[in-house]
């Protein structure tokens, strides 16, 4: 359930908090089986926990039915999911786009006009910095990279997890407008609030930790243009870029410590 609550900033969805599924754990054991008492290492994988998503959704329909509609959209692709945050400085936006199990993109843009895309096409990864007109490329991704990203964003639910939460629903005003309202509270007392348009039932605002995030679009379509890398952009090596970035941060930290 934590994955549901913590994953509303689309640019960070791939790094959401550990969540609702129970993955099988890999274990190794050493046994002595040969007549010569020779040790043999046997690797095995524990049975994967059953997927209780259908049961969990059915349970939630009686608690927070409008949020379940949102979850059902989030659990299929193609998928477009866009949000924005608003501060005194301005508006920042983020987006998650899943075309298929191999083709994924994340976008972000801040109030200064800086914007970028991270694109996976099943083989390569691109970090496209639009305000600098440069595309950093990493070739030959690990075979499971995009599959893992897709699965982590399609929200598998654990019935034991969702049944441990407290739920509320009703009508509530937020920022001068009246919404249909639902909320979840975990065992530590952390509450997330969901505000739905009274006419369309669309999820419009999520408040977690007192911070509102505005959902500007969520549907099961996707625009291919989000996966395009402009041909006129300068090209760079992504690994080199990341290594230089890490080196710069370490140097800055060392300088600060010396001072």
The per-residue pLDDT for range 123-149, each reduced to its tens digit, is 889 999 999 999 999 987 665 666 676
What's the confidence (pLDDT) of residue 174?
96
Higher pLDDT: 192 or 259? It is: 192
Max CA separation in the chain (angstroms): 80
Q: Report the chain's C-alpha Rg in angstroms.
A: 22
Residue 9 has pLDDT above 70, yes or no: no
**Token reading at 178:** 């009246």
What's the confidence (pLDDT) of residue 254?
86
The mean pLDDT of 23-30, rounded to a whole number, is: 40
CB within 8 Å of 68: residues ≥ 6 apart: 57, 60, 61
SS3 224: helix
Query: For residue 110, with 0-12 CB atoms within 10 Å meaning exposed, 13-18 middle and 19 or more buried, which class applies?
Result: middle
What's the confidence (pLDDT) of residue 165?
93
The mean pLDDT of 161-184, rounded to a whole number, is: 95
pLDDT digits (tens, 9 = 90+) for 37-49: 455 555 555 566 6
Alpha carbon distance 186, 53 (integer Å): 18
The mean pLDDT of 75-99, rounded to a whole number, is: 92
Q: Are 178 and 171 in contact (CB under 8 A)?
A: yes
What's the confidence (pLDDT) of residue 129?
94
Which three-class secondary structure string do you get for 112-142? CCCEEEEEECCCCEEEEEHHHCEEEEECCCC
- List phi, psi (to 5°) of 208: -130, 130
The mean pLDDT of 232-242, rounded to a whole number, is: 91
Mean pLDDT of the chain: 81
Residue 86 has pLDDT above 50, yes or no: yes
Residue (of 131, 213, 151) closest to 16 by Cα position: 151
What's the confidence (pLDDT) of residue 63?
95
Whether the predicted model's global pTM rises above the 0.85 cut: no
Residue 58 has pLDDT above 90, yes or no: yes
pLDDT digits (tens, 9 = 90+) for 152-164: 667 778 888 889 9
């Amino acid at each position: 359930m934590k994955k549901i609550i913590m994953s509303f900033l689309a640019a960070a969805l791939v790094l959401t908090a550990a969540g609702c599924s129970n993955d099988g754990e890999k274990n190794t054991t050493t046994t002595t089986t040969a007549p010569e008492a020779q040790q043999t290492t046997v690797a095995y994988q524990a049975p994967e926990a059953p997927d209780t998503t259908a049961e969990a959704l059915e349970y939630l329909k009686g608690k927070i039915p409008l949020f379940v509609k949102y979850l059902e959209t989030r659990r299929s692709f193609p998928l477009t999911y866009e949000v924005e945050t608003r501060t005194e400085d301005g508006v920042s936006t983020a987006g998650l786009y899943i075309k298929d199990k191999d083709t994924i993109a994340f976008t972000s843009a801040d109030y200064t006009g800086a914007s970028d895309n991270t694109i996976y096409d099943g083989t390569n990864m691109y970090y496209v910095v639009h305000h600098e007109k440069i595309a950093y490329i990493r070739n030959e991704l690990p075979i499971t990279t995009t599959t893992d990203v897709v699965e982590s964003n399609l929200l598998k639910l654990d019935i034991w997890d969702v049944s441990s939460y407290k739920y509320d629903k009703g009508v509530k005003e937020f920022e001068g407008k009246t919404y249909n309202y639902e909320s979840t509270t975990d065992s530590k007392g952390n509450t997330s609030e969901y505000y739905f348009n009274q006419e369309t039932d669309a999820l419009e605002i999520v408040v977690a930790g007192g911070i509102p995030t505005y959902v500007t679009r969520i549907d099961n379509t996707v625009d291919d243009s989000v996966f395009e890398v402009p041909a006129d952009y300068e090209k760079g090596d992504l690994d080199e870029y990341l290594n230089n970035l890490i080196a710069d941060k370490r140097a800055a930290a060392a300088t600060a410590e010396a001072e």
